[in-house]
Structure 1
């Protein structure tokens, strides 16, 4: 009888070795997007048209939020304005997110209607490493026969 109790006690004690805490579970991409990537990023824009730099170090915020598409974010650049021209909001959804060695990359493309230039294909790509973000936005303003390249470098504000 005493041996049975000893074996039972040993079994109960060894259960802690074979069980894991939920803290040990890895986050899914959806959870990473919601908890680590989504938020407002404060930084500076650089703008060039057909390869010629027009503006740099323009203070701007860009927001990332969870897309309705799996493993993707929604990118929003509100009130895109430069050189006195208001082009409107650049919103690209979805931008597919991938991870490699703790660095997250995202890509997306969409055709947007922007004031002053009309319908434009827009491509977005970016990299997030910790709280730092680098984004490239290419806008093909076919009505004006121009390619507008926008760079953004910033850090997460919240």
Structure 2
């Protein structure tokens, strides 16, 4: 009887040892989670269809918890820290978490397997601009409706400023109203954007980019807003593609276009100033970008053989050179 008990006890010990070894082989009790704590860049990092020059850092606290830091990966955010859960997989770990950043709420999920981090990142923008903006039309003389434009000039010449500030916005508003009866800007909370317009007398709206392209290019175009600046952003990958298509005018090259833009992480952006007042949203360009844009546009329009146009161009050139401050844009309502 005693020998039987000894044999039974020995058998139980062996089974326990085998089970323990088996668990270790499966990674259930090992310290493999410690090895994933590092910075992932370049060929060790994938965030979908676009490339990134940014970094994703992983700081694992245990086998089921980690802090994921997105550095220059999320549009509009230099760094986003996410508390994530870890789950063991056959080849490594899966992770998932979400966080509130400056411009948006961020969700991230993915895997760390065979030394490579693959992530899917989604944003929900928290800006009050998200939604549909319609160009505002206001009454003018003789029952005329004109588009509401915004213009402000400070050249240091009181007479010139009075003329420009009194005439520029109504003239532009009339020109727009003669051509289009509506303009709509759609700023999706997930980061997509598009605009549409309906020409006077047309039966349908023209949408840009066309609906059939929106899904294809949504990874390359986005927007965000912070500190009263609306940034329209294009991913660097898109401009690389554009440079190979040879579709720019003869005297305009890609470097000239890039000179108009601001670099923010993986994106080139156009910063648009925003003012909100009395239920209306004014979106406009300031002097810095207007002067740059004028230098690009001037060669394109300078050879037009029309005295009236040439006199207007000469005045614009003078204003751009003298102006201390310029604001020019359009007024929208939701």
Q: TM-score, normalising length from structure 1?
A: 0.56
What is the rounded CA distance, in whole Å, between the counterparts of 1:39 and 1:133 in structure 2?
10
Aligned to 2:52: 58
Ranges in structure 1 where 5+ consecutive residues have no aligned partner: 1-13, 48-52, 151-158
The count of corresponding residues between Structure 1 and Structure 2 is 118
Which one has the bigger helix percentage?
2
Alpha-carbon RMSD across the aligned residues, in angstroms, is 3.7
The within-5 A match list for 1:31-46 is 31-35=31-35, 37-43=36-42
Q: Does 1:89 align with 2:132?
A: no
SS at match of 2:124: strand
Tell me whether 1:127 sits opposite 2:126 in the alignment: no
Contact 2:54–2:72 (8 Å) recurs in 1: no
Contact 2:41 2:56 in 1 (8 A): yes
Secondary structure at the aligned position of 2:82 is classed as strand
Contact 2:64 2:85 in 1 (8 A): yes
Q: CA deviation at 1:138?
A: 1.0
Higher relative contact order (CA 8 A, sep 6+): 1
Whether contact under 8 Å (1:33, 1:73) holds in the other structure is no
Q: Distance in 2 between matches of 1:134 and 1:46?
A: 6
* TM-score (normalised: structure 2): 0.29
Q: How far off is 1:99 after superposition?
A: 2.0
Q: Write the mapping of 1:1-158 to structure 2, written as runs, cut at 5 A.
A: 18=14, 24=21, 26=24, 27-28=27-28, 31-35=31-35, 37-43=36-42, 56-67=50-61, 71-80=64-73, 86-93=76-83, 95-112=84-101, 114=102, 117=103, 120-143=104-127, 144-145=129-130, 146-148=189-191
Query: CA distance change for structure 1 residues 30 and 147 in 2, over 3 Å: closer, same or farther?
Result: farther
CA change 1:141–1:71 in 2 (3 A) is same
CA distance in 2, matches of 1:133, 1:88: 19
CA 1:45 to 1:102, structure 2 compared with 1: closer, same or farther past 3 Å? Answer: closer
- In structure 2, runs of 5+ residues without a counterpart are 1-9, 131-188, 192-217, 220-334
Q: Distance in 2 between matches of 1:33 and 1:75?
A: 14
State how far apart, in whole Å, the 2-side matches of 1:128 and 1:57 are: 18
1:84-126 CA distances to partner (integer Å, 9 max, x unpaired)?
xx52211101x111123234211112222x2xx3xx3211101
